[in-house]
């Protein structure tokens, strides 16, 4: 019985600690993604644990181009650098003309879930992306396994570092104004 209670208490403490930490370690990241298609991806943090990702993709094999805006919710696993995410959003798919069907543009819906890992300024993620779109040839469903490598352009400041800076006052002291710092034309500000 003690064996199971120890496992349960460990699991509960693990879940509590992972829920207390922030999920993503960046405010803005951009890079390349590939899988069933190839494209560009830009992710921006919009709220605690939420990012907005914009993807532009192309696939020559099936002659289509797509663009999506995806809202993703991040759930940390152990630390904020390694997390699980899920989300979805609207997009547009443009299919080129082939002998089988005419050229068409349609609205689509994408759902995404996967794992994300950030180390230093490199963000890696692997995800599953099912999406639906409707063209002249009928409704279609596609499933992609996607891998992305992004460069973290703007890092998120660590809460721990902010607390330590406040506690130990490691901030640079502001230099007091002297008469030599004041421009000559602001004569009224100079001390007498």
Each residue of 111-138: pLDDT tens digit? 999 999 988 899 999 999 998 888 766 6
Pairing, β 50-59 against β 79-95: unpaired
Does residue 107 fall inside a structural domain? Answer: yes
Cα–Cα distance, 49 to 22 (Å, whole number): 6
Longest dimension (CA), the chain: 88
Burial label, 143 (beta-carbon count in 10 A; 0-12, 13-18, 19+): exposed
Does residue 191 fall inside a structural domain? Answer: no
Q: pTM of the entire structure?
A: 0.66
Does residue 115 fall inside a structural domain? Answer: yes
Cβ atoms 130, 105 nearer than 8 A: no
Backbone angles phi, psi at 168, to 5 degrees: -100, 0
Does residue 174 fall inside a structural domain? Answer: no
CATH of the domain at 79: 2.40.160.20
Does residue 165 fall inside a structural domain? Answer: no
Domain with 8, as residue range(s), is 2-156
Confidence of residue 35 (pLDDT cuts 50, 70, 90): confident
**Count: domains in the chain:** 1
Does residue 21 fall inside a structural domain? Answer: yes
64-90 mean pLDDT: 90
């Amino acid at each position: 019985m003690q064996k199971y209670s120890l496992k349960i208490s460990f699991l509960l403490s693990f879940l509590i600690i992972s829920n207390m930490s922030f999920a993503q370690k960046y405010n803005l990241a951009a890079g390349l993604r590939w899988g069933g298609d190839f494209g560009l991806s830009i992710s921006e943090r919009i709220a605690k644990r939420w990012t907005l990702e914009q993807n532009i993709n192309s696939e020559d094999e099936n002659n289509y181009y797509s663009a999506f805006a995806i809202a993703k919710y991040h759930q940390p696993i152990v630390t904020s650098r390694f997390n699980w995410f899920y989300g979805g959003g609207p997009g547009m798919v443009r299919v080129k003309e082939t002998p089988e069907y005419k050229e068409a543009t349609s609205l689509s819906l994408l759902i995404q879930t996967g794992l994300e890992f950030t180390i230093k300024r490199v963000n890696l993620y692997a995800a599953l992306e099912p999406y639906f779109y409707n063209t002249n040839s009928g409704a279609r469903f596609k499933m992609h396994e996607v891998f992305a490598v992004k460069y973290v352009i703007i890092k998120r400041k660590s809460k721990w570092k902010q607390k330590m800076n406040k506690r130990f006052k490691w901030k640079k002291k502001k230099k007091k104004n002297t008469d030599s710092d004041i421009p000559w034309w602001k004569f009224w500000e100079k001390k007498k």
